[in-house]
Amino acid sequence: MPLDFAGVCAPFSSLSTPAQAGVLSRLYQEDAAQEVLGAAIRWDFRGRIALVSSFGAESAALLHMVAKIDPTTPVLFLETGMLFPETLSYQQALAARFGLTDLRLISADMDEVSTQDSGGLLHRNDPDACCALRKTRPLQHALGQFDAWITGRKRGQSSTRSDLDLFESDAAGRVKLNPLADWSAQDVATYMTANDLPPHPLVASGYPSIGCAPCTTPVKPGEDPRAGRWRGREKIECGIHVDNGRIIRTPREKAAPMDGA
Ligand code: SF4
């Protein structure tokens, strides 16, 4: 159901973003992901919301839901220049199949790249700086015109996400919607099967979590599905998810299974 401002508080828009997120989380806590998404896209943030997608291992489900609601919804895709060719082809195939009409490829500022990573090896020496250059800053710039964004994060992905709210606020004062917050990996798989959605081509090759090619390796049976991300380093998050000014970071051994941005 769309947001009933009159039944919540008045005026809703005067509330701080964290307070708005709290109100929205309570309002929609009993609703299915598709219903929350539909209300956010059609009513609550109409024309002011974007989906951020990595077109990774579990991305097809959320992309499919958004496309069914409104295929003109802006979809922001971080093209870091370091992605697997399979991810680029998967992105093109899904966008065509779902009829997405406002897919935006977000890239780093080329002047910054030439001054900070002319050799393309920053990911080896300083992956945090590389993610800031190729992911965090470009995304923050791209989100500047929106009041809200949609992510595919789920509570089961890591200990830092175990208390993930349906709605959050980000450091820039935008509302962040996590419609799959309470979904499991099996829920995603079931949805993809039911809707005949194609898997990312690298999943069958041992990649349950897929990021940039230099920072992603296959995962052995029994390993944490995210073990292939920045393997051998302390880093486990790219930094695009900042909650109340704090970048989420936890020790790798605390990270739980499932894919994530
Ligand atoms: S995942 Fe690796 S290559 Fe991609 S932006 Fe981060 S450090 Fe750079």
97-144 pLDDT, tens digit each: 999 999 999 999 999 999 999 999 999 999 999 999 999 999 999 999
Q: Which atom of ligand 1 is nearest to the CA of 211?
A: 1
Residues of the chain falling short of pLDDT 70: 1-10, 156-162, 242-261
Atom 1, ligand 1: residue with shortest CA distance: 212
Cα–Cα distance between 49 and 104 in angstroms, integer? 13
Count how many Cα atoms sit within 13 Å of the Cα of residue 48 in the half-sphere of its side chain. 11
Q: CA angle, corner 185, sides to 184 and 187, nearest 5?
A: 65
Domains of the chain plus CATH, in order, are 32-254 (3.40.50.620)
Does the annotation mark 9 as catalytic? no
Amino acid type, 2: P
Confirm or reject: Cβ of 132 under 6 Å from ligand 1: no
Average pLDDT of the chain is 87
Q: What is residue 254's predicted lDDT score, i.e. its pLDDT?
A: 32
What integer pLDDT is reported at residue 10 of this predicted model? Answer: 55
Residue nearest to atom 4 of ligand 1 (CA): 212
For residue 135, the ligand 1 atom closest to its alpha carbon is 5
CB within 8 Å of 54: residues ≥ 6 apart:
77, 78, 87, 152, 210, 211, 261
pLDDT at 161: 61
> Is the preceding peptide bond at 221 cis, omega within 30 degrees of 0?
no
Note whether 23 and 15 are within 8 A (CB). Answer: yes
Span from the CA of 148 to the centroid of ligand 1 (angstroms): 25
pLDDT of 221: 87
